[in-house]
Amino acid sequence: MGVSFVRVYKANCNKLFLDNMVNENLVKDVVKEPYKYGFVTDIETEKIEKGLNEDIIKLISQKKEEPRFLLDFRLKAFKKWQKMKEPDWAALGYKKIDYQDIIYYSAPKQKEKISSLDEVDPKLLETFDKLGIPLTEQKKLTNVAVDAVFDSVSIATTFREELAKHGVIFCSISEAVKNHADLIEKYLGTVVPASDNYFAALNSAVFSDGSFVYIPKGVTCPMDLSSYFRINSGDTGQFERTLIIAEESSSVSYLEGCTAPMFDTNTLHAAVVELIALDDASIKYSTVQNWYAGDEEGVGGIFNFVTKRGKCLGKRSKISWSQVETGSAITWKYPSCLLLGEESVGEFYSVALTNNLQQADTGTKMIHIGPKTKSTIVSKGISAGNSKNSYRGLVKMGTKATGSRNYSQCDSMLIGDQASANTFPYIKSQQPNSEIEHEASTCRISEDQLFYLQSRGIEFEEAVSMMVSGFCRDVFNQLPMEFAAEADKLLALKLEGSVG
Amino acid sequence: MEIIEKIKTNKSIDNQTEIQKICLDKLQSSPLPNPRSEQWRLSNKSKLSNFLDYSVNENNSKFDIPYPKNSQNNIRLIIGENCQIKLIEKNYSIRQLSEDELQKYIKEQISCFNQNENWSDLLNLSLSCKNNILGLKINGSKIPPIEIFSYASSNSLNAKTLIIFLEKNCNVELLQVNLGEDTSSLSQSTFFCLEENSSLNHGVVSFGINKSNLLNSLNVIQQKNSEYNLGSLHFKFNYARFEIRIKQSEGNAKTNIKGMQITKKDEQISTYTKIDFDGPNGFLDQINKSLADDKSHAIFEGSIIVPKIAQKTDASQLSRNLLLSNRAQIDTKPQLEIIADDVKCKHGATISQLNEEELFYMRTRGITLTEASKLQLSSYFQEIISFIPVSKDRWDLLDQLLNEN
Amino acid sequence: MQSKMKESDPILEVENLSASTDNLPILKGVSLTVYPGEIHAIMGRNGCGKSTFSKIIAGHPSYTITNGEIKFLGENINSLEPEERSQSGIFLGFQYPIEIPGVSNLEFLRVSTNARRKFLNKEELDTFDFEELVKEKLEIVKMDQAFLSRSVNQGFSGGEKKRNEILQMALLEPKIAILDETDSGLDIDALRIVASGIKRISNAQTGIILITHYQRLLDEIKPNYVHVMSDGQIIKTGESDLALELEKKGYEWTDNFIKET
């Protein structure tokens, strides 16, 4: 283990921001609950040396026993990355990242080939247990198949046999490279090309693991699939890659959760997610992101620079993104949809909550290419503390997108007078027979509403969290049940101490 | 680009005024705006270079105002022609700004210029000669409506500058008309300073013919309790940019903006607005409408900036767009940047065609498709046009111009 | 009396009409003939195709006729534009009259009336003459002149919108009026005003089709025929007592007819 200390969170007393409206009796300093997932697992890991060059990439590829095409893919991406400049256009401010000071491969040491969960290091199982993601046969979650990723590699995937019966492939992407090379070669990089952006290029060059999902024709995946990402080492970047393919008339709901220990250094997370939906297929992709956000002074935390994109290739296909973003020091993420197939549908439902010194720049791109395509965007940003929360979006109607429609709604809620909320929706149309409608508003929790709730005996904090979750309801409604409840709790937890 | 070459070599202008010197200096190192900057990204580069492809014309040929003066007491001014103005009546006075006042104010403005954002003003101030700068100070009440004309003559680039101070407690109705002849470029920069309790109903009507180009920049500073109402209409330009920058310097002011641009053929017309609230209790109600037909391109970018000091700001911005042809294009980008928490801000944008259900309804009442479209379009215009302080009897003229279009 | 009607030529003949929108069939073979002086009522559940039927007669561009034909005064009008149908004397009273912000009601009524007058080779009216005419017609629907200066239907209450529809009918003097749920959203007084308006405008030369859910409009305007529609088809036709029976027994009763057919 490189870094192995856990910061002890000081009890943190925050003064009321809404001071002029609440009388002294209500000023109740709240002890902020520490980040629950901040522990570090003490486990021996195999790491390669810091830094990035062609040899490192060859080494990663060799360690993973990859076929030639993949090594070429990586090297090409690396060449492109070297020629690219780190973007600075987003409304973000952060210290320059030293890409030579990052370890690009880290794996917990375990037996070469694991045939069953019993051979997985108990410490790892325990880690996921502690995170609420039990992997062992006795305890595993009912009706959710989980792929657990620890630092750079996938540890275990549950319910594999059950899924195999339906022809569903759910495994780590490394395994898929070995067992389903044809699918990987056909689809990898087709939605997010290596040259797409700086971080996607970096990911394409060094990605270590991630999840792979293939739903065959006509199959409705019998259970939700879920990946759980855990960054454990402090100096390791996490570069996972997810690829989901839904064949004709198939459907799947995929959940993604993330946590990381607390370090006082920044850790880079640059993932790429690619979704492909063929005729009549539907993919629902839900994320609850709770990476360590750094402390209240902005020390430490994850830099979350992620490229997520879905391609509605088939007619009447549908891709729906829903996300609850509460963690990370910096989030830079725009889950997008390319709507190619006639009558295909793209959706984006997002809640982004920032507190303390967090910065989030998130939104979506809905690119309408095919005719009669539809997209819906609902974004709710909540900024508290000194944080900065921006919505950045693009809706584009191409010349062939006749009869297409978009509806966007972006609402911001400001808590305290130090937080900022920005909206940058960008709308472009080249097709008269299409409709775009965008609405945005900014509000704060109204005193009248708070008073009303309080006069009915509801505690101040409870009232605030009720209003916040009411503000987010449109989005929570889109989340799978168990996620929605978790998201609600997470928001309440994150807001504690920031308002009263 | 003739102009740019001249700016680079600094040979263009004899007898440079101090202001021209300052601006030329600023432009010399990089005479063109950064085409990748947010403000210029969508601007058609070849059209901009065409704008700059004329030589500067400082002399004003005789210009006939396209319509007669009908209300006897209107005050009419043509920038470049009316050099000596001094109107002192019982209730009001309009007098020319002194050389010093002018210099001081413009220098102050230039000091906070940004190369990309204020490029149009820099260009204007470096080209516009003494004769073509009109500076006025207005004071008093019951001031008759004022009309101010700027115009560009064929095969030349004309730079005109207008600076107006509205002194405390005065109310003014002002119509600004910018006209471009065939194959001409007009650079118009306008600076208004509204002092406490003053109010200005400002109309801007700009139209050209065929290959007219226009860079129209408007800078307004509003002191507290002032009210600024702007109704604007831009059409018939090969290339036109209308830049509006409004600063409520102490908040507590009201701003209403209703603007409209119509593009046809392969024209490009864009509107950029930036509203800064530098104090609390500011109010903004803005609507911008675009109508794009044929192969034309209409652009709207609006940003609203509400810093921490601007608590209780109430701002709303709406961008409504009609796309009438398969080959036309509309870009719109409303933008909100908010740090204050006790604010009411909302914005909205729509791009669509004429409303099909409304059209059908009218057609079931026997009104032809063309007529129904016309009715709908004129109602679409109406909201904007009725906000432009033009006397009722001029509406016919506007109507006619719009219909021709 | 009925036989007397049939001696003249029909106003509207709908023959085996099928239509769809976005490839979704809505009407599945509807036939209906209206002679001068007749009042027909079409009843049925929500979504049975009643409103679609009225829109197709008026020529709504979203629907495609897949089979059958519509004849008006003996001529096939399948391919006529909505305005041509209106000018020639087909009137559709909307269930939800459209609000058109910015277009003045008076101007709208005038342009519309003149379009019809032009078709009838009548002299077109200037603003002044038209105002005279409107004032006269306003009385039929007990509307105030203030309505004229507002935008078309904008900010009108439900009842005001429906009265504005009848005002248009009075001005256009159609050969046939299809009134789509003109009674919905009206209180008793407004319903009486609307019903008496309809009665005053119609005569022995005109035909009326009332589309409705309820008996109460039919109490005011007694229909000659009642048609029950279900799933895009007319499943039963009877005289005015059919409506009463329907009111008593509910639409479940008509479900049996579908099984029979």
Nearest residue of B to residue A388, measured between CA atoms: B339
Report the C-alpha gap between C103 and C116 in whole angstroms.
19
Report the C-alpha gap between B183 and A304 in whole angstroms.
52
Higher-confidence residue of B118 and A475: namely B118
- pLDDT, mean of residues B194-200: 96
The yes-or-no verdict on residue B69 having pLDDT over 70 is no
Report the C-alpha gap between A407 and A435 in whole angstroms.
8
B363, B369 contact by CB (below 8 A): yes
Burial of A113-127, coded b for 16+ CB within 10 Å and e otherwise, reads eeeebeebbeebbeb
Which of the residues B260, B287, B289, B361 would you substitute to probe the C interface, choosing the one with the greatest number of C C-beta atoms within 10 Å?
A: B361
What is the pLDDT of chain B when averaged over all its residues?
A: 88
How confident is the model at residue C216, as a pLDDT? 85
How confident is the model at residue A8, as a pLDDT? 23
Above 0.85 for ipTM, yes or no? no
Phi-psi region of A218 (alpha: psi -120 to 50; beta: other; left: phi over 0): left
Count the Cβ atoms, other than its own, within 10 Å of residue B241.
Answer: 25
How confident is the model at residue A455, as a pLDDT? 66
Angle between helices C188-201 and C127-140 (to 10 degrees): 120
User: Using the beta-carbon criterion (under 8 Å), do B366 and C112 form an inter-chain contact?
Assistant: yes
Contact status of B366 with chain C (Cβ, < 8 Å): yes
Nearest to C169 by CA among C226, C72, C94, C107: C94
Report the C-alpha gap between A423 and B347 in whole angstroms.
10
Higher-confidence residue of B76 and B247: namely B247
Instruction: Tell me the backbone φ, ψ of residue B149, rounded to 5 degrees.
Output: -110, 140
Angle between helices B356-363 and B369-385 (to 10 degrees): 120
Burial of C203-237, coded b for 16+ CB within 10 Å and e otherwise, reads eeebbbbbbbbebebbeebebbbbbbbbebbbbbe
Beta strands at B268-277 and A282-289: parallel, antiparallel or unpaired: unpaired
Closest CA–CA distance from residue B381 to any residue of chain A (Å): 19
Report the C-alpha gap between B345 and B359 in whole angstroms.
33
Count of all residues that appear for chain C in the document: 261
Neighbour-count burial of C155, counting CB atoms closer than 10 A to its CB (0-12 exposed, 13-18 middle, 19+ buried): exposed
Concatenated DSSP letters for A432-451? SSEEEEEEEEEE---HHHHH
- E strands of A216-312, at which residues? 224-230, 241-246, 251-259, 266-269, 272-277, 282-289, 301-312
Q: How many CA atoms lie within 13 A of C23 on its CB side?
A: 0
The yes-or-no verdict on residue B91 having pLDDT over 70 is yes
How is residue A101 annotated by DSSP?
G
Report the C-alpha gap between B267 and B247 in whole angstroms.
30
How is residue B71 annotated by DSSP?
S
Beta strands at C24-34 and C12-21: parallel, antiparallel or unpaired: antiparallel
Count of all residues that appear for chain A in the document: 500
How confident is the model at residue A20, as a pLDDT? 27
Higher-confidence residue of C120 and A110: namely C120
User: Using the beta-carbon criterion (under 8 Å), do A432 and B353 form an inter-chain contact?
Assistant: yes
Q: What CA dihedral angle connects B359, B363, B368 and B373, to 10 degrees?
A: -10
Contact status of C58 with chain B (Cβ, < 8 Å): yes
Angle at CA B270, nearest 5°, toward B269 and B271?
Answer: 135
Give residue-wise pLDDT tens across range C130-143.
999 999 999 998 88
A242, A269 contact by CB (below 8 A): no
Nearest to B26 by CA among B6, B8, B48: B8
Pair of tokens at residue B393: 């009897």
Nearest to A209 by CA among A244, A170, A240, A252: A240
Sheet holding C75-76, edge to edge: C24-34, C12-21, C64-72, C75-76
Count the Cβ atoms, other than its own, within 10 Å of residue C32.
Answer: 21
Contact status of C91 with chain B (Cβ, < 8 Å): yes
B4, B31 contact by CB (below 8 A): yes
Angle at CA C97, nearest 5°, toward C96 and C101?
Answer: 125
Give residue-wise pLDDT tens across range B342-386.
888 888 888 888 888 888 999 999 898 888 888 888 888 888 888
Phi-psi region of C50 (alpha: psi -120 to 50; beta: other; left: phi over 0): alpha
How is residue A151 annotated by DSSP?
T
Confidence of residue B71 (pLDDT cuts 50, 70, 90): low
Query: Which chains reach chain C with 3 or more Cβ–Cβ distances below 8 angstroms?
Result: B
Contact status of B348 with chain A (Cβ, < 8 Å): yes
Pair of tokens at residue A336: 């997008």
Confidence of residue C108 (pLDDT cuts 50, 70, 90): confident
How confident is the model at residue C15, as a pLDDT? 95
Report the C-alpha gap between B44 and B267 in whole angstroms.
10
Which of the residues B36, B288, B335, B336 would you substitute to probe the A interface, choosing the one with the greatest number of A C-beta atoms within 10 Å?
A: B336
User: Using the beta-carbon criterion (under 8 Å), do B341 and A419 form an inter-chain contact?
Assistant: yes
Instruction: Give the mean pLDDT per block of 10 residues along chain A (500 residues).
Output: 24 26 26 54 72 88 88 93 80 74 74 56 69 60 67 67 87 88 92 90 88 93 81 72 94 80 70 95 89 75 88 96 85 92 95 86 94 95 87 93 92 85 90 89 72 68 74 80 69 62
Angle at CA B41, nearest 5°, toward B39 and B47?
Answer: 100
Nearest to A105 by CA among A58, A164, A140, A138: A58
Query: Which chains reach chain B with 3 or more Cβ–Cβ distances below 8 angstroms?
Result: A, C
Choose from A155-169, B50-64, C206-220, C241-255 the range with maximum mean pLDDT. C206-220
Q: What CA dihedral angle connects B289, B294, B296 and B302, to 10 degrees?
A: 20
Which of the residues A388, A404, A423, A498 would you substitute to probe the B interface, choosing the one with the greatest number of B C-beta atoms within 10 Å?
A: A423
Concatenated DSSP letters for A161-190? HHHHHTT-EEEEHHHHHHH-HHHHHHHTTS
Q: Collapse the DSSP code of A89 into the 3-class scheme (helix H, G, I; strand E, B; otherwise coil) and give the result.
A: coil
Residue with tokens 């102490």: B250
Contact status of B332 with chain A (Cβ, < 8 Å): yes
Cβ-Cβ pairs closer than 8 A, B with C, add up to 76
Q: Read off the pTM.
A: 0.77
